[in-house]
Each structure stands twice: as structure tokens, then as C-alpha cells.
């Protein structure tokens, strides 16, 4: 493993190049509300690439008043945006997609500096994916025709009505892509939005709000409230004027938001954490499986869909481990801006401590470290870590770490593999590696998760349902599922021959 992680490189030049794209304020009713440093209503965002270089920006720190103003603007904005035709909305959303593509370099560098996301992956792939999210939902809405039929002497028409103001709360990992994924269906359906990005990576959301205004959103259609989750976030989800809440983050926060949604009887979707199994059956292409397993260290393991529990047939364990170590050894830790880097830093010093806490407790419980197991000194990298847990009940198996920490367990038959795969409270994603079509279907169907890949990972058609079972989530997004969530369906019935 190449380790260039401990020599923090300067971020000055790259920061200077994107300073023009940094928006530190809230966007409320089409106006920027700048941070008030005089009243210390700000928070810092720093770069995990060079934490000691000082703040990248001082961001506006919203409070209950900010939340009330943003929701008020979304209520006012709904009168106009909700009344636009789907074609008018589609035009603006396509323009926003065009602007995203035009600003690819700024978005990619902001995200890399702010969150440590791999720059090349952002520039070449994820910015475009964000633009595609807006195009996809704009087009899906246009394609939606109202269902009409006659029964019981009544002409029936099912109308899809925009639900109203929606609060969109997003996490710090892959912040740009995940935000577009949630904002696009809300806006395409005709809802106005208040977006609350995570406080550890707020910068790309500011630029996105700016581009939304440039694209021609009417005032109040697209609002942004920056700040801390327990402050402005909690106030937003508690506001009774909000008609939809869509959240991506941890199960712990999901519970808080679920309480607020229940209080106001507001429909709520939650995309929460994962602890995905990566099941390698005896007939698998072992090298392909081991390669993919080693790449679960990608993005420093800060991926909700990651297959972090490696489950391998006992009969191929040694072969698998040899290949896994070979692929893991080839991974280079380093600066996320360097195209030769495979693994960048974790997002925040607090998160590094959290990851290490999991590893220390795993060892205290009797787990055996097979590789890694410590933070890298002089940077926010954590060594890619593999642990043989003391038992399947160990915390390291049962709780999401959200860092580059995998566990290795073996099984002796298919039933045991499925039982282990289904043995946590999570159920977001899973991977199965096999060359048998019969086993692919049998094991794939037996696993309880929202997404199961066989011999693949991450690639997905965007119209497919997306979401988790168990504590991994409530509801489904993706394609029509997200549009259904953001709409109220109405059945209009007109008695035959009574209108002309
Ligand atoms: P988090 O739950 O700490 O925070 C998520 C967001 O919620 C942030 O914007 C935060 O400010 C806000 N928030 C916190 N407390 C709040 C409150 N009381 N009221 C309203 N908002 C509040 O999660 P995180 O640490 O930012 O993200 C990591 C988690 O997200 C992991 O569990 C990961 O698996 C999960 N995740 C899930 C998916 C998915 O699609 N299922 C995708 C990405 C991340």
C-alpha cells in the first residue's frame, strides 16, 4: 500500500481558484441572507485535505428564525411554482442541469476541498450524475399522463397534485450528488424546497442554490438554510407548514425527524445507514470478488451502500484472502486531488476518532485485526482495516462504522450465508458473488435489503426503486417512487351526462 497521506499539501491555490463559487449565506425567497459574524451566527467549514490550514469559509448558522423565514418563503413560492405547468418546470430544471455541467470544475473542486471527495471521480462522473438527476425527473414528470376511465357512470381522472413545501435534509458524504437526487423529484413534482445540507460539507449546496436561481426558479421555489442539524434542521422539520420531509442520514437522526414528522402528520422518507453483506459463494470468480471487496475502502468507506461485512465460503477463504490482500496492497492513500490516489482522508477529526473507537472496541471484544487498525498520523486518513470479529454479535458486525473498516466471516453452506447476511438490523444493500444463475436468484432473493447486486456494485438504473429495509430506511425513492412521494393523488369523478 502506498501511503502519501501524511504530507498535507497546500490548498491555497485550489481554494483561490474556486473562491468565486463559494456562497456562505442562506438563500431565502430568491435573496442571499449573509452570515452575521457580529453575532457569531456562523460556523466554520474546513478541508479534510489540510485541516490545519484554517477555515475554508465561515458559513451562515441558521436558527429557528431562519427556518421560519425559509419555510415562509417556500409557502409563498408554492403559489407560483406549484401552478406552473410540468413543461415550464421541466424547462427550468433542464437549464439547471446545463448550468451544473458548465460549472463542473467549480463543483468538483469545492466538493473535494470541503469533504475530501476524490476529485477525478467527482469531475468525471458525479457532477454529471447530478445534472442527470434534474433531467431525469423533468422528463419523467412530462411523460406522466393522467389516468382517465369511466366506471359506475362516472368519468374518473387521477390528478397528481404537488404536495407543498418540502424540507430536504442531506448528509456530508457525496453531498452534491445526494442533494440533487432528493431535490430534483421534489421540484419536478411542483413542490417548493428548503434544503438543509450537512454542516461538515456545506459548500456545493451554496453553489447549487445559486445555479438554481440563475436557471430561472421563481423566488421561494428553491430555498437553502445552512447550519447545524439540531438547530436549524430541527426547526425546519418541526414547522407545521411543511408538507413533505425527505431525509438522508443516520438512523439516529432519522428517529428525531420521524418524531417531528409524526407530530405534524407529514409524509416522510428516510434513506439511512447500511451494513451491507458482501457474500462470496464457493463458485464465485474469486479474484473479481476480492478486487471489489478491497475497493469497499473507496471514499474512505464513507459510503452507505458499501459491503462492509465480507462473508466468504470457508473452502475458498485462503484463496480469497491472498487476492484481497494483493488488491488492498495496491491501494494508494493520499490527497484526493491527486489522480494517483485511491483513498482520500476521512471527513473530520471527530469522525476519525469515531472510526477508531469502533476498532478499539472490536479488539476489546476479542476481534482480531487482519490489516490496518489505526489512524494515520499527520492526516485525517484511517488505515484500510480488516477485522475478524469475536462473534456475529460483536458491535463491529452489528453497527455501521462509516469508515474504511471491513469485517471478515466465513460460512459453510448457502443457508448459513443467507442467515449471516440477514443478521443485522440494517437492510440497505447487499452483494452476492457467484457464477451460478440459479444461486444468484436463490441467494439474491433470500437476502433482505432494498438493493442486491450480483457480481456488480453501485451501478443502477435511476428509475429503479431505492431505499432500505429495517433501520436502513422508510419509503422508496428513485424514478416514479420519488414523484409519488412528492405528490398528492386526487381522484376527480364527474357524473356522466351532467356536464357539457
Ligand atoms: P446525520 O444523521 O448526522 O446528519 C444528516 C443531516 O441531518 C445533516 O444535514 C444534519 O445537519 C441533519 N440533522 C442532524 N440532526 C438533526 C435534527 N435533529 N433535525 C433535523 N436535521 C438534523 O448523518 P451524517 O453523519 O451526515 O451522514 C452519515 C449517515 O448517512 C450514515 O449513517 C450513512 O449511511 C447515511 N447515508 C445514507 C444514505 C442512503 O441513501 N441510505 C446515503 C448517504 C448517507
Cβ of 113 below 6 Å from ligand 1: no
Reported pTM: 0.96
Class of the 277-454 domain?
A: alpha beta
Quick one: average pLDDT of 150-167?
A: 95
Ramachandran region, residue 75 (left: φ > 0; alpha: ψ -120 to 50; beta: rest)? alpha
Phi/psi at 324 (nearest 5 deg)?
A: -60, -45
pLDDT bracket for residue 35 (50, 70, 90): confident
Class of the 9-272 domain?
A: alpha beta
Measured CA to CA, the distance from residue 282 to residue 328 in angstroms comes to 21
pLDDT of amino acid 9: 81
pLDDT bracket for residue 297 (50, 70, 90): very high
Asked if the model's pLDDT at residue 7 lies above 70, the reply is no
pLDDT of amino acid 486: 97
Q: Which of 114, 227, 229, 469 to mutate to test the pocket of ligand 1 (most atoms within 8 A of CB)?
A: 229
**Is-catalytic flag, 146?**
no
Q: What is the pLDDT of residues 360-418, one digit of tens each?
A: 999 999 999 999 999 999 999 999 999 999 999 999 999 999 999 999 999 999 999 99
pLDDT of amino acid 1: 65
Write down the mean pLDDT value for the chain.
96
Q: Which of 170, 250, 271, 426 to mutate to test the pocket of ligand 1 (most atoms within 8 A of CB)?
A: 250
pLDDT bracket for residue 6 (50, 70, 90): low
pLDDT of amino acid 146: 85
Quick one: average pLDDT of 471-491?
A: 95
Measured CA to CA, the distance from residue 402 to residue 214 in angstroms comes to 36
pLDDT of amino acid 145: 78
Q: What is the pLDDT of residues 462-476, one digit of tens each?
A: 999 999 999 999 999
Asked if the model's pLDDT at residue 337 lies above 90, the reply is yes
pLDDT of amino acid 447: 98
User: Which residue, by CA, sits nearest to atom 42 of ligand 1?
Assistant: 304
Q: Name residues whose C-beta falls within 8 Å of residue 442's C-beta, 6 or more positions apart in sequence.
A: 414
Give residue 171 CA to ligand 1 midpoint distance, Å.
4
Sorted by where each begins, the domain ranges of the chain are 9-272, 277-454
Q: Name residues whose C-beta falls within 8 Å of residue 64's C-beta, 6 or more positions apart in sequence.
A: 231, 232, 235
% pLDDT > 70, the chain: 98
**Is-catalytic flag, 271?**
yes
pLDDT of amino acid 384: 98
Q: What is the pLDDT of residues 443-455, one digit of tens each?
A: 999 999 999 999 9
Reduce the secondary structure of 311-370 to three states and give it as a string.
Answer: EEEHHHHHHHHHHHHHHHHCCEECCCCCCCCCECCCCCHHHHHHHHHHHHHHHHCCCEEE
Among 111, 199, 231, 304, the active-site one is: 304
Quick one: average pLDDT of 189-194?
A: 98
Phi/psi at 177 (nearest 5 deg)?
A: -60, -45
Measured CA to CA, the distance from residue 461 to residue 201 in angstroms comes to 27
Amino acid at each position: 500500500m502506498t501511503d502519501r497521506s501524511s504530507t498535507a499539501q497546500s490548498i491555497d491555490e485550489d481554494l483561490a481558484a474556486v473562491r468565486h463559487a463559494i456562497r456562505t449565506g442562506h438563500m431565502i425567497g430568491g435573496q442571499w441572507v449573509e452570515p452575521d459574524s457580529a453575532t457569531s451566527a456562523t460556523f466554520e467549514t474546513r478541508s479534510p485535505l489540510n485541516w490545519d490550514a484554517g477555515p475554508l469559509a465561515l458559513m451562515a448558522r441558521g436558527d429557528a428564525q431562519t427556518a421560519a423565514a425559509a419555510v415562509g418563503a417556500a409557502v409563498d413560492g408554492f403559489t407560483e411554482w406549484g401552478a406552473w405547468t410540468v413543461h415550464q418546470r421541466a424547462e427550468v430544471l433542464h437549464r439547471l442541469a446545463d448550468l451544473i455541467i458548465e460549472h463542473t470544475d467549480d463543483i468538483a473542486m469545492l466538493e473535494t476541498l470541503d469533504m475530501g471527495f476524490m476529485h477525478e471521480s467527482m469531475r468525471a462522473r458525479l457532477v454529471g450524475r447530478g445534472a442527470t438527476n434534474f433531467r431525469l425527473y423533468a422528463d419523467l414528470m412530462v411523460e406522466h399522463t393522467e389516468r382517465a376511465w369511466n366506471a359506475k357512470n362516472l368519468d374518473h381522472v387521477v390528478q397528481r397534485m404537488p404536495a407543498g413545501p418540502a424540507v430536504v435534509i442531506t448528509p456530508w458524504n457525496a453531498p452534491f450528488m445526494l442533494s440533487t437526487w432528493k431535490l430534483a423529484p421534489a421540484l419536478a413534482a411542483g413542490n417548493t424546497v428548503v434544503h438543509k445540507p450537512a454542516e461538515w460539507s456545506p459548500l456545493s449546496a451554496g453553489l447549487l442554490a445559486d445555479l438554481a436561481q440563475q436557471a430561472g426558479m421563481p423566488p421561494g421555489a428553491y430555498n437553502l438554510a445552512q447550519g447545524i442539524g439540531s438547530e436549524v434542521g430541527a426547526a425546519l422539520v418541526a414547522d407545521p407548514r411543511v408538507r413533505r420531509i425527505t431525509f438522508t442520514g443516520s438512523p439516529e437522526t432519522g428517529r428525531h425527524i420521524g418524531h417531528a414528522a409524526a407530530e405534524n402528520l407529514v409524509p416522510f422518507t428516510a434513506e439511512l445507514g447500511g451494513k451491507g453483506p458482501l457474500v462470496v459463494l464457493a463458485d464465485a470468480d474469486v479474484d473479481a470478488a476480492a478486487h471489489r471487496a478491497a475497493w469497499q475502502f473507496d471514499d474512505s468507506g464513507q459510503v452507505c451502500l458499501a459491503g462492509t461485512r465480507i462473508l466468504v465460503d470457508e473452502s475458498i477463504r485462503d484463496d480469497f484472502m491472498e487476492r484481497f490482500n494483493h488488491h488492498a496492497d495496491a491501494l494508494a492513500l493520499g490527497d484526493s486531488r491527486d489522480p494517483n490516489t485511491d483513498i482520500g482522508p476521512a471527513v473530520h477529526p471527530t469522525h476519525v476518532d469515531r472510526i477508531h473507537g469502533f476498532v478499539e472496541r472490536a479488539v476489546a471484544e476479542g476481534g482480531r485485526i487482519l490489516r490496518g487498525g489505526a489512524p494515520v498520523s499527520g492526516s485525517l486518513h484511517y488505515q484500510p482495516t480488516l477485522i475478524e470479529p469475536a462473534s456475529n454479535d460483536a458491535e463491529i458486525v452489528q453497527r455501521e462504522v462509516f469508515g474504511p473498516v471491513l469485517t471478515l466471516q466465513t460460512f459453510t453452506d448457502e443457508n448459513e450465508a443467507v442467515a449471516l447476511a440477514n443478521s443485522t438490523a440494517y437492510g440497505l444493500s447487499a452483494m452476492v458473488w457467484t457464477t451460478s444463475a440459479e444461486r444468484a436468484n436463490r441467494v439474491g432473493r433470500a437476502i433482505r435489503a432494498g438493493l442486491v447486486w450480483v457480481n456488480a456494485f453501485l451501478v443502477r438504473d435511476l428509475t429503479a426503486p431505492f431505499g432500505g429495509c429495517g433501520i436502513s430506511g422508510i419509503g422508496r425513492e428513485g424514478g416514479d417512487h420519488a414523484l409519488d412521494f412528492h405528490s398528492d393523488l386526487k381522484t376527480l369523478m364527474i357524473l356522466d351526462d351532467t356536464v357539457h
